Amino acid sequence: MPIGDVYAHVSSNRLSRWGLRCLGAFDLHTHIRLKPMLDFFANHIRAGSRCRVLEVGCGDGVNAFEFAKLAQQRRVTLRYCGIDITAARLERARQLARQLHLETCTEFLQIDAARIDALPAEPVDLLVLADVIEHIEDPEGLLRSLRPKLAEQAICLVSVPTPLYERVFGAAFHRKVGHVRSGYDLKELNALFATIGGRLTAHRYSTGLPSNLGCALYYRMPANRWAIMLKTLGLLPFRYLDLYNSPSVSCSLFAAYSFER
């Protein structure tokens, strides 16, 4: 099932619903950057276990619903809490949770990342920071405030742009999405997580040269509804063409960190 296909449930347009069911989210980079994170989740959750997830910067819930799919497949009891500051995106996530009958295992709260103290007290097994820390002026302060929320043997899943991101996606898009930093390489990311005792357990670069070309075309072309759907269809092969990913060519980086008490 493609990433983001669940949004067909809340689309008001028949053609959009068909496109979402078949292609998933109309955002080429979403598929590329989230796949390593979802693969890690799928490979590391134990069948029949219980997993408490906290996501900072959850947006409209795309990760929540992908985690829910995987948890259902593996008979995992999922308890997910996502926080964001954008009310409209959170409402869309809640609407979809109702449509999918996931209200009992997902929660979406409007909380600023600077107010982590307002979160429920229950420790979490999985912390998700998917393309969020590059938007934060003080990422080390955020991580220090999140550290007490982690259960023993917790894992943090992180996705960030690399310093090549701006060159591929364009400076205008880079500014539009609100990045306060151009990106992280693995050494910089490791140093950041070392401040809270994080130890790298896995990493993967995304977007090789073919996907870079696809992303450059996608995010520099017109962005009305029909153009987006046509771009998604036309650039679909770019998701699968990467044969080589490395710091020298990739503009997206996934990493997983474990912690010792």
Q: What is the pLDDT of residues 160-172, one digit of tens each?
A: 999 988 888 888 7
pLDDT at 145 over 80: yes
Q: Among 80-89, 120-129, 145-154, 238-247, where is mean pLDDT lowest? A: 238-247
| Mean pLDDT, residues 224-228 | 64
What is the domain partition of the chain in residue ranges?
A: 28-221+244-259
C-alpha–C-alpha distance, residues 204 and 185, integer Å = 11
pLDDT at 223 over 80: no
C-alpha–C-alpha distance, residues 232 and 218, integer Å = 8
Q: What is the enclosing helix (H) or strand (E) of 51? A: strand 50-56
Whole-model pTM?
0.89
Alpha helices, DSSP H, located in the chain: 14-23, 28-44, 62-73, 87-99, 139-146, 165-169, 171-176, 186-194, 209-220, 225-234
Phi, psi of 173 (to 5 degrees): -70, -40
What number does CATH give the domain 28-221+244-259?
A: 3.40.50.150
Contact of 241 with 194, CB cutoff 8 Å: no
pLDDT score at 133: 93
pLDDT score at 227: 66
Phi, psi of 155 (to 5 degrees): -125, 145
